[in-house]
Amino acid sequence: METPRLAAVILAAGQGKRMKSDLPKVMHPVGGRPMVLHVIERARGIGADPVIVVIGHGRERMIPLLERERAGYVIQEQQLGTGHAVLCAESRLADFDGNVLVLAGDVPLLSEATLKGAAELHRSRGAMVTIITAQAPDPAGYGRILRDADSLIVGIREHNDASEQERNIKEINSGILYFNSSFLFDALRRIGNDNAQGEYYLTDVVFQAFDAGQPVAGFIAPYDEIHGVNSVEDLARAEAIWQERTGLA
């Protein structure tokens, strides 16, 4: 069976106010390199082509960096949510047929092994969507994975929209997902923003897959790999893990 083509869309438009810096969040270094470059490297390492970075805040610093790396980019003029961010990349993928991997530019510790494992699950299950999940010690702020009595994934609830019971769920959406490309962009054009944040959530695409009876798979990854860097404390933690992995600690 021929392996489908793979494209990657990296979300990197956020400001990162908790970093307490004028530097765009994804340009803060881990292991001596901007976080977003680690993510680009992982995407390329599993054969993604093209790799498109969605940028917004700090674009005047981001663009020269991406051009040096020969990475494609699109600009999200307004930060209207993850679904809107991915839709901004549609024009660059107009003739693309295959799978689209959506990554976050602030997750520098993700391994190729995890991405390859999730890709294999996506292919073997014939899934329309595959979600990379993890068990989080503190799931606050993350979307929660909802499963039925048979442990099948039946939805994702964003933190701000979750009930008290749902907020006790430890399994989280990492924000890293594989999609069938034709399904993804068709579904993105149909999502709304009727939620607590008034944003267009990428996770609403997953709900469309459920509603249409399309297969959705879930791949559980180590939490340390998918933990996003959202603060100076997170950055220090990521650097410590990086040094431990590379034998520098």
- 189 part of the active site: no
The residue to which tokens 């969040």 are assigned: 25
- Helix crossing, 181-188 with 203-211: angle to 10°? 110
Of the listed 18, 123, 157, 237, which one is catalytic? 18
Helix or strand (DSSP H, E) at 87: helix 82-88
For 19-24, the CB contacts below 8 A with 24+ separation are: 19/230, 19/231, 19/232, 19/235, 20/232, 22/58, 23/58, 23/61, 24/55, 24/57, 24/58, 24/61, 24/62
Distance CA 51, CA 71 (A): 6
Are the C-beta atoms of residues 191 and 205 closer than 8 Å to each other? yes
Distance CA 213, CA 108 (A): 34
178: which strand partners? 101, 130
- Computed from CA positions of residues 200, 159, 128, 35, in that sequence, does the dihedral angle turn out positive or negative? positive
- Count CB atoms within 10 A of the CB of residue 182: 13
Q: What tokens appear for 173 in the block? A: 């959406």
**Residues with catalytic roles:** 18
